[in-house]
A and B are shown apart, each in its own frame.
Chain A
Amino acid sequence: MTTTVPATDQGVDLVLTAENITKSFGGVHALKGASITMRRGEVTALIGDNGAGKSTLVRCLSGIHRPDGGTITLGGERVQLDSPLAARAHGIETVQQNLALVEDLTVWQNFFVGREITKGVGPVRFLDRAAMRTKAEALLGGLAVNVPPVTSRVRRLSGGQRQAVAIARAAGWGSSIVIMDEPTAALGVQETARVEAVIRKLQDSGVAVLLISHNFDQVLRLAQHVWVMRAGLAVAERRADQTSGDELVALITGAKAA
């Protein structure tokens, strides 16, 4: 398989390269060979109409779906992301659109479910609840907005608070890539501004962010690079400062060819 690196990517420090990713669900070809790249230290936006394959591509990158074909390269090393744990082990954290929070559990339990801190001797291990509460408090406090108590159940939190919990969880593990699927879709104006501030903060700390969004203003505000998806393919890429909302719409609908 010959890999044609787009001209714009030459000499650029790529933190992630996904090439020719295919994924089908029964007869539905959700991804037909999509290729995208992410540059180190940048916010990369992934846009496209409903059903264009954004979420499927993201799920392949976060290890939830196993791609049928194609390769994923992280910092020059080809990787298999067979499970969410494998993706995490490679420093990829994801904030799912549904946030992947267990509503019946508390905030700190949601922070640590799947990677609990334990104490004990040998195989006899117990949850270190105090340590997990303290760490969850610190991570959430880093967001510094309307922080819910870490002992409250997620069921009782507002939409913005849930988003904050999910983002703080994703950001809190020393990850190099954080993927966010429509992080502000369900939020009001104020809470959206706060989440955008969090995304900038993440970028400042050197984390590469992959942002899925329907909001072009937001994309142009936050992202440095934009990938456009249509019908299971990544059809175009643009530098954010060299494009406009109108052009992005035209690329999404296919009115303008790449």
Chain B
Amino acid sequence: MTTTATPTTSAPPPTRRAVSALAEARHLSFWAENAAPIGLVVLVVVFSILSPTFLTLGNIQAMLVAGAILVILAVAQSFVITTGGIDLSISATMTIGAVGFGLAFQAGLSFWPAAVVGVLSATVIGVANGLLIAKGKVTDFIATLGTLGVATGAALILTDGKPISVFSPELLRLTTGRIGFVGYPFIVALVVGVLAWVVMFRTRYGLHVQAVGGSEEASVANGVKAPRVRIAVYIWAAALAGMASLLLVARIGAAEPAINTNYLLNSIAAVVLGGVSLSGGRAKIVGPVLGALLLTALTNGLTLLAVSQFYQPLAVGLVVVLAALLTRFQKR
């Protein structure tokens, strides 16, 4: 063997990368990879032409606050979907978190201990999901559908179906406080997004999440503890849903026992828009965050244009189906 090895590993210089990006724009795969940012820009342009209020500071602030919850849920869902799973219980888990917080607060706990109770009660659902899927070998779809039902029922039973009003200065500060012009809820979501990115792409755990999603068999053969990785991913998703529930309670001013399925569908939609394949293995964090913002902008814009509420799910549905069709042209 006398061939001299010349590993060509250096990445192309930035200028050449920009040129090749332009060249790629002619291919469908370019649009598929970047559906979320492109869609977001298009929506912003279209809505700002159609409605003078869309790009005002006040409306942007409102959108970011409204989008914060969905951003957190999308990040959580993205982790689960990267392992090749799905969490259908994510929105019901958020409700459990809200109810747990509300009941603890009602029982006389102050904000922070009650918040811990809320996050922990949401995490219980995640533990159940993880154990059912990784140890019980129940299909993710069925397991989380089951816990969706259980969590929905439990929330109604625990509260007798009535919302728990919560008046706390901390919650008020959470909704109204801001740094610069960005409200606290979006800052929380942004911090979650950045941490999630670091965990996914810069830590051993993140690499294992991608590996298990890509090929569980190969990962296990290389010593990755796949069941543990899966359990952890559902627990993290539920804990994040618990965190999102605090933003939800802060926003409504009450712990609502009724679940909002919109959050479930939109969290999955945001991940799909973000270019993550539902078969797992290819991780993305920025894409799903932009996808969540896109869906928020879409809902907000349609409201500003006085389009009937009835059209909003329809619009979201169309956008998601379109994005899913586009992902077929992603480069593997």
Chain A residues with a Cβ under 8 A of chain B: 62, 64, 83-85, 88, 94, 96, 98-105, 109-110, 113-116, 118, 125-127, 129, 133, 137, 140-141, 143-151, 155, 194, 197
Contact = CB atoms under 8 A, between A and B. Distances in A.
A100 B6 contact: no
A151 B9 contact: yes
A231 to B, nearest CB: 26
Given A105-B211, A144-B1, A113 B219 contact: yes
Nearest to B212: A102
B5 interface: yes
Given A84-B223, A197-B1, A109 B207 contact: yes
B230 interface: no
A75 B7 CA distance: 38
Contacts of A129: 202
A147 to B, nearest CB: 5
Interface in B199-235: 202-204, 207-208, 210-211, 213-215, 217-224
Nearest to B223: A114
A110 B222 CA distance: 9
A145 B9 contact: no
B15 interface: no
A140 B220 CA distance: 22
Contact of A64 (B2, B202, B204, B221): B221
B4 A144 contact: yes
Interface of B: 1-9, 11, 198, 202-204, 207-208, 210-211, 213-215, 217-224, 281-282, 332
B7 A116 contact: no
B220 A84 contact: yes
Contacts, number: 103
Contacts of B281: 102-105
Contacts of B2: 144
A98 B4 CA distance: 28
Contacts of A94: 221
A149 B220 CA distance: 25
Contact of B217 (A98, A114, A115): A98
10 contacts: A84-B222, A94-B221, A101-B218, A102-B210, A102-B214, A109-B210, A113-B224, A114-B222, A144-B3, A197-B1
A108 to B, nearest CB: 9
Contact of B282 (A64, A104, A109): A104
Contacts of B198: 126
A150 B7 contact: yes
Nearest to B201: A127
Nearest to A201: B1
Nearest to A62: B221
Contacts of A84: 220-223
Given A126-B203, A127-B202, A127-B203, A100 B217 contact: yes
B232 to A, nearest CB: 15
A149 B217 CA distance: 24
B66 to A, nearest CB: 33
A129 B198 CA distance: 13
Contacts of A101: 215, 218
Contacts of A155: 332
A137 B5 CA distance: 10
A100 B11 CA distance: 27
A133 B5 CA distance: 16
Given A102-B281, A114-B223, 5 more contacts: A104-B282, A105-B207, A127-B207, A141-B5, A150-B7
Contacts of A96: 221
Contacts of A151: 9, 11
Given A98-B218, A127-B203, A104 B210 contact: yes
B9 A149 contact: yes
A155 B277 CA distance: 15
Contacts of A110: 222
A5 to B, nearest CB: 32
A145 B204 CA distance: 30
Given A100-B217, A127-B207, A149 B7 contact: yes
B9 A150 contact: yes
Nearest to B281: A104
A85 B223 contact: yes
Contacts of B3: 144-146
B8 A149 contact: yes
A100 B226 CA distance: 14
A127 B204 contact: yes
B203 A102 contact: no
B219 A102 contact: yes
A197 B224 CA distance: 31
Contact of A100 (B9, B203, B218): B218
Contacts of B11: 151
Contacts of B213: 104
Contact of B7 (A62, A88, A114, A147): A147
Nearest to B282: A104
B7 A140 contact: yes
Given A100-B221, A114-B223, A125-B203, A147 B211 contact: no
Nearest to A87: B223
Contacts of B218: 98-102
A83 B215 contact: no
Given A100-B222, A127-B204, A141 B7 contact: yes
A118 B207 CA distance: 12
Contacts of B220: 64, 84
